[in-house]
Amino acid sequence: MLNNAKVALVTGGNRGIGFETVRQLAEKGVTVLLAARNLEEAEQAVSSLKEEGLTAVSPVKLDITSSIDRVAMSQLIARQFGQLDILVNNAGVGTPEGTGTVSDPLTSGTSLEELRLVFETNVFAVILLTRQLLPLLHKSSGARIVNVSSHLGSLTLHARKDQAVAYNKRYAYNASKAALNLFTIQLAQELEGTNIKVNSIHPGWVKTRLGTDAAAMEPAEGAQTSARAALFGEDGLSGNFFHLDQTIPW
């Protein structure tokens, strides 16, 4: 490494919760790679943070669904830092709206196209990127993997028709977050006894492109749980699902 600062990669870091997570980690002295599918958007986001005095942030191009980008990212981190301390799997998609696909709101009407689109980004790409970066995370003295999930992925809340999730029954998105949560559980169990902690977090209902302006929380508030999980100490949680100090049922 070039210095003693922790090194973090935040996917989907150019806006919303991801951008605020980058800011909060940088404010804590973490060297952050702000990743976006479009390098220009990443550069613009980093420029605004540097104007605030947060200079240890660098823009990187990373489409998490691209195997070429995933390999290039691992090579860049290995070359520049030799290890990775924090991986925040923040990038994700909601529904195919805006992609030209008309999506049926009924569970039984969920199209294969929607399932493929949502799972490709929210599940498969996260698994493959994490796998690609695991050797670098193992080199850290205390690595943290943060999977940005949602309480909409809670089977318990859906099964008991909890008011917290009653408003959203979009099967593809909800199922993708449930699958992401299982990845968290089993990866944490696989890595038990190592230097790596893995957690799922629920950021809350946040004013983002996905959450809309009707949401109750600002992006900076939504990023608090991600940043907290990323900075857990040795006695921190692993294999858990939470929002701030609240445990979310699987």
- Whether 173 is catalytic is yes
Query: Of how many residues is the chain composed?
Result: 250
Task: State the CB neighbour count (10 A cutoff) for residue 181.
Answer: 21
Which among 19, 119, 171, 173 is annotated as catalytic? 173
Q: Pairing relation of β-strands 143-148 and 86-89? A: parallel
Report how far residue 231's alpha carbon sits from residue 236's, in angstroms, rounded to the nearest whole number: 9
Sign of CA dihedral 178, 74, 38, 218: positive
What letter represents residue 191's amino acid?
A: L
Helices 171-190, 112-119: axis angle to 10 degrees equals 40
Listed in sequence order, the residues at least 6 apart from 100 whose beta carbon sits closer than 8 Å to its beta carbon are none
- Please count the CA atoms within 13 angstroms of the CA of 200 that sit on its side-chain side: 29
What letter represents residue 143's amino acid?
A: A
Give the catalytic positions in this structure: 173
